[in-house]
Amino acid sequence: MTLNKKLPIRRQRILDFIQTFIEENGLPPTVRDIQKACEISSTSVVDYNLRILDRDGFLNRRPDVARGIELLDDAGQPMGTVPRVQIVGRIAAGSPLPAFSAEGNAASQEFETIEVAPDLPKRHGRLFALEVQGQSMIDALIDDGDVVVIKPSHQAEQGEMVVAWLKEEEEATLKKFYPEGNQVRLQPANSSMDPIYCSADNVEIRGKVVSVIRKFV
Amino acid sequence: MTLNKKLPIRRQRILDFIQTFIEENGLPPTVRDIQKACEISSTSVVDYNLRILDRDGFLNRRPDVARGIELLDDAGQPMGTVPRVQIVGRIAAGSPLPAFSAEGNAASQEFETIEVAPDLPKRHGRLFALEVQGQSMIDALIDDGDVVVIKPSHQAEQGEMVVAWLKEEEEATLKKFYPEGNQVRLQPANSSMDPIYCSADNVEIRGKVVSVIRKFV
DNA sequence: CTCTTTTGAGAACATAAGTTTTAAAGGTGT
DNA sequence: ACACCTTTAAAACTTATGTTCTCAAAAGAG
């Protein structure tokens, strides 16, 4: 992963234009397309900047190939593919959560994955997912078989839907998070259900719920 | 929508190659790429076949543009883009459903859309979506703000989750559908809730629920 | 300030790639 | 057989597009 140092305005503009162009036209732009759109006086300047963007891992150039530009994401992978989120385990009341980490899993191929709309990773970064087993999350309006998409996190803002691990009960649960001094109120999504209160020490936040996906065959 | 007559082998092969090429390379092939891959003796033969595929709506050619081929799906829309499903209205108990049709909407641009994973349209074809307003669908485990993705249909199999319109009550609801002779049992997704029964005449099926999407900001 | 590195310009060049032209081989129906 | 359409071929042509060369202005480094 490259440093987050901001690029020169012109180079950033080129990058943005390429992305927009691909989205709108379904194929990468030519050097001259970029030249015109970014108001650059010469193709050599475009080429020069593309070289640097290539070297720094923002894109990939296929030499001698018309429109041979391929944008890469932060992880150096080709973009424009449908994002798949790993289902790293199943969650059910009373079942210990599988160990997951925000870091890259080395042996990542062994997990099932689920297709998600690209705006999710775009907005929240690296995500993972859990499949809910049983009806224990029904107070969170989550059914057996639903997939919960989660952004790893160890803290949360008030009101966010989180994956909370209750140490004493040895139970994972999906609730809205409300810190109240030394206590934590965990509020079900279903407003007709009562919240649970417990001491802040007993609650461990594992992640924030970003989306719930329910599919019918 | 074009007829489902099968294409000549060579033309089908060209089409398949283009799709594979785009998937693997992130940009469309050149005429000469196609020529080599499909073992065609001349570029003019490729051009000839591409013309026909263009004319018959399988793809789009941008004249004088290198790699200017764009594959189209069955509905004539450019492929390879993230599918967006139109949110054609809001649904709430007691609110009449907006008029929607499975046919192409002429003035389609005025609706909001939501990104969905491509496997949904791939499996179910043309879809639309409704945003749920209020807590009235809570027995279906659906919350305020959830988006329900629907495949238009006027009939359903036993056990499928459907959008049902209750004529007498003038109410739309999301339930599992169970025909029972002259009666229909509509079962909430939440198994702790009681089903409702009504006469088959009073129930109109508007579509099948394909997915429910809940997003958190 | 001088030296180096980065960035910008303009033009020319080479090849990648769409298009056209001409011809002919296979069909189909009359 | 004919006329007519589809399909295949080979080669040439034109444009689109990546690449390179030379020169110069900014921008940092010492």
Which of A38, A71, A104 lies at the terminal end of a domain, its last residue? A71
- From residues 61-90 of B, which are strand D contacts by CB within 7 A? 64-66, 68
Task: Please report the pLDDT score of residue A2 as a whole number.
Answer: 40
Smallest CA–CA distance, residue A188 to chain B, in Å, is: 12
Residue B198 forms part of a structural domain: yes
Residues across chain A: 217
Contact A113, A87 (CB under 8 A): yes
Tokens, residue B180: 């029972």
Q: At what angle do helices A43-55 and A9-25 cross, to 10 degrees?
A: 90
Is residue B62 domain-resident? yes
Q: What share of chain B is helix, strand, coil (3-state, %, to 5)?
A: 25, 30, 45
Beta carbons of A70 and A82 less than 8 angstroms apart: no
Residue B128 pairs with which residues in a beta bridge?
Answer: B150
Contacts of B172 (CB under 8 A, 6+ apart): B91, B92, B93, B95, B96, B97, B163, B164, B165, B166, B206
Q: Comparing C-alpha atoms, which of B190, B193, B188, B198 is closest to residue B162?
A: B188
Q: Tell me if chain B has a CB within 8 Å of the CB of A119.
A: yes
Which positions of A are annotated as active-site residues?
A: 136, 175
What's the pLDDT tens digit per position in B49-94?
999 999 999 999 999 999 999 999 877 878 866 678 888 888 886 6
- Which among B80, B135, B213 has the least Cβ separation from residue A213? B213
Q: How far is CA A159 from CA A163, A202, B143, in A?
A: 13, 18, 16
Q: Tell me, what's the pLDDT at B71?
A: 93
Q: Per the CB < 8 Å rule, is A118 touching B114? A: no
Distance of A165 CA from C12 C1′ (whole Å): 68
Task: Answer yes or no: do B35 and B101 share one domain.
Answer: no
DSSP helix/strand/coil, A188: coil
> Which residue from B minimizes the CA distance to A123?
B217
Residue B18: per-residue pLDDT: 94
- Compute the distance between CA of residue A127 and CA of residue A114 in angstroms, rounded to an integer: 11
Does B107 lie in the same domain as B33? no
Mean pLDDT by 10 residues, chain A (217 residues): 61 91 92 94 93 91 94 80 79 68 47 86 88 87 93 92 89 90 89 87 93 92
On chain A, the residues whose CB falls within 8 A of the CB of B21 are none
Q: Two tokens at B20?
A: 């594979």
B168 interface with A at CB cutoff 8 Å: no
In this structure, are A101 and A180 located in the same domain? Answer: yes
Task: Examine residue B206 and state whether it is found in any structural domain, yes or no.
Answer: yes
**Protein CA at B32 to nucleotide C1' at D4, angstroms:** 31
Q: What global pTM score does this model have?
A: 0.71
Both A157 and A208 in one domain: the answer is yes
Asked if A63 and A106 sit in the same domain, the reply is no
Return the pLDDT at A146: 94
> What domain range includes position B32?
9-71
Which of these is catalytic: B36, B101, B108, B136? B136
- Which residues of B are less than 8 Å from A139 in CB distance? none
Residue B190 forms contact with A (CB below 8 Å): yes
CATH number at residue A127: 2.10.109.10
Per-residue pLDDT reduced to its tens digit, B143-200:
999 999 999 999 999 999 999 988 888 888 899 999 998 999 998 888 778 889 999 9
Instruction: Check if A116 contacts B (Cβ < 8 Å).
Output: yes
Same domain, A203 and A144: yes
Residue-level pLDDT at A21: 92
Per CB-CB distance under 8 Å, the chain A contacts of B189 are 143
Q: What are the distances in angstroms from CA B16 to CA B10, B23, B59? A: 10, 11, 12
Number of domains present in the structure of chain B: 2
Residue after which a domain boundary falls, among B19, B49, B71:
B71
Residues B184 and B135 both lie in one domain: yes
Average pLDDT, chain B: 86
Q: Are residues B167 and B196 in the same domain?
A: yes
Q: For position B147, what pLDDT does the model report?
A: 95
Q: Which residues of B155-164 are buried (b: 16+ CB within 10 A; e: fewer)?
A: ebeeebbbbb
Q: How far apart are CA B63 and CA B68, in angstroms?
A: 7
Residue B66 lies in a domain: yes
Residue B8, burial from CB neighbour count under 10 angstroms (0-12, 13-18, 19+)? exposed
Does residue B2 belong to any structural domain of this protein? no
Note whether A153 contacts B: Cβ–Cβ < 8 A: no
Is B63 exposed, middle or buried, given 0-12, 13-18 or 19+ CB atoms closer than 10 A?
A: exposed
pLDDT of residue A106: 43
C-beta atoms of A189 and B143 within 8 A: yes
- Written as one letter, the residue type at B130 is L
